[in-house]
Amino acid sequence: MTASYLVFAGLGIIWGSNFLFMKMAVALLGPMQVVCLRVLCGSVPILGYALARGELRRSHWKMAHHFIIMALLANVLPFFFFVKGTQSLASGIAGVISGTIPLMTFLLTILLLPADRPDSRRLAGVALGLAGVALVAGIPGAAAAGGSAKGAMSVLFGSASYALAMVYARKFLTPLKQGAVPLAAYQTLAAAVMLLLATPLNGVAEILHAPAVLWSLVLGLGLLGTGVAFVMYYFLIERLGAVTASSVYYIPPLVALFAGAVFLNEAVSAGQGLGTALILAGIYLARNGAENERKNQEDRGTVRPGTVCLHKS
């Protein structure tokens, strides 16, 4: 059990550091180039893990359209919007705003899955989270009328894309009983192909002359932040269960703020600290309300226990 919680802490640190690595990489490369290299490097551990477990089968090919849609919603779009937002936001602030993924998931679930009825607890969580985003991004201040507000919206778009991927998986993939490992392998492979076809590679070689950026992108953001992080998360689900594993989402916003302040000298205001606390409180209310509803559905026999959709920051 000790090993499980060490992995739990490590995963939170890895995901929380992703925005630091994004900030370093996007200073030298374009957003699409950063995303392309991230997915290419991240696909190696995921595919290797899936092959080692023997979980890739020809029968999965009939679900190729689902893998392509998930690749777009859970890899290409969120990664792009996160990098784009990090261009005009401090990396720590971008990391905190990305923590709204559970809140976005709740909102989209209400809109797209009418059978899920909102309760006052989860609605309060969403309200707290959105207020926290406003404080973290500095939207109430006049100085934030430009880049910060635009960057915050970009990160929120990325969070919404992740959330839409979860809702899509719940509606279309959960009934098929598709395992998380082959889904992650196929969707990452599909994302890599799409990005290679769409990304201009002019100037990418410049990264070879900047070792810090090269290692932050290839090792930090790609291999660790995308590939190894998935394997760690799946390990946690097997050892601790989906509910406990999902609690790791509380760690990355705090790590992102800390990493940005320490390594990039990013300032953190009292208002942004309060906003971070509101976002975490909102996640707690929304997640716990959703979990209570899931348990009620299990008791009624309307949902399979342990159902989970994975995502990566």
Q: Which residue ranges make up each domain of the chain? A: 2-300
Residue 260 is predicted with a pLDDT of 94
Residue 135 confidence (pLDDT): 84
d(CA 261, CA 256): 9
Q: How confident is the model at residue 295 (pLDDT cuts 50, 70, 90)?
A: low
Q: Which two tokens stand for residue 251?
A: 């760690």
Mean pLDDT value of segment 56-79: 93
Using the predicted structure, report yes or no on whether residue 173 has a pLDDT greater than 90: no
Per-residue confidence (pLDDT) for residue 300, from 0 to 100 = 45
* Vertex 106: Cα angle to 250 and 126 (nearest 5): 65
Across 251-289, b (16+ Cβ under 10 Å) vs e yields bbbbbbbbbbeeeeebebeeebeebbbbbbbbbbbbbeb
208-245 confidence digits (pLDDT tens): 999 999 999 999 999 999 999 988 988 888 888 776 77
- DSSP tag of 58: G
Contacts of 141 by beta carbon, 8 Å cutoff, 6+ apart? none
DSSP state of 118: -
pTM confidence score: 0.87
Distance from C-alpha of 245 to C-alpha of 260, rounded to nearest angstrom = 25
pLDDT given at position 109: 83
Closest by Cα among 249, 233, 241, 239 to 284: 249
pLDDT of residue 202: 93
pLDDT band at 83 (very low <50, low <70, confident <90, very high): very high
Mean pLDDT of all residues in 170-184: 85
Whether 299 has a pLDDT exceeding 70, the answer reads no
Lowest mean pLDDT among 55-69, 122-136, 263-277, 296-310: 296-310
Kindly tell me the sign of the dihedral angle through the C-alpha atoms of 84, 88, 91, 92.
Answer: negative
Q: Which residues, 6 or more positions from 148, have their beta carbon under 8 angstroms from its beta carbon?
A: 88, 89, 93, 137, 138, 139
- pLDDT value at residue 103: 85
Residue 308: pLDDT over 60: no
Cα separation of 138 and 118, whole Å? 29
Q: Backbone dihedral region of 149: left (phi > 0), alpha (psi from -120 to 50 degrees) or beta? A: alpha
pLDDT of residue 15: 94
Task: Give the range among 126-140, 172-186, 247-261 with minimum mean pLDDT.
Answer: 126-140
Contacts of 90 (CB under 8 A, 6+ apart): 23, 260, 264, 266, 267
pLDDT of residue 303: 41
Structure-token pair, residue 312: 């990566």
- Report the pLDDT value the prediction gives residue 140, as an integer from 0 to 100: 54
- Which comes out higher in pLDDT, residue 152 or 110? 152
State the chain's mean pLDDT as an integer. 85
pLDDT at 301: 44
